[in-house]
Amino acid sequence: MVNFRCGTRIPCNIRLTLTTLDSFCPFVEPCLVVLVNPQGCGVKFGRPLEIGIRVRLEGLPATRSVTAEIVNCISVGEYEKFWLLGLSLDEPGNVWGIEKPPEDWFSR
């Protein structure tokens, strides 16, 4: 799937820790990154979160941690026990450790 504005999205399975930067909604919980590009990612998470919450992703393969904003929260089904969060990175880049990223990851 190609999105010329954000770069090709790549499916993956990266286990991380998601930590809130919002003092009104404190948490530190595990998550699973399932889709990445240089602008952000899709994350499986155990509960819904409000759009706009600022978070830190910790335990990345290429970078120790990065900050992001939740831009989407989708329930994947009535019987599922997780939500798909869309995160937008504060500083875009290949923080995912993708060895041979697509060419469109480097174009702006």
In tens digits, the chain (108 residues) has pLDDT values of 344 457 899 999 999 999 999 888 789 999 999 999 999 999 999 999 999 999 999 999 887 899 999 999 999 887 888 999 999 999 999 999 999 999 888 865
- Domain layout of the chain by residue ranges: 10-97
pLDDT at 3: 40
Alpha-carbon dihedral sign for residues 48, 34, 42, 15: positive
pLDDT at 5: 56
User: How many CB atoms are located within 10 Å of the residue 70 CB?
Assistant: 23
pLDDT at 1: 39
The answer to whether domain 10-97 has CATH 3.40.50.10680 is no
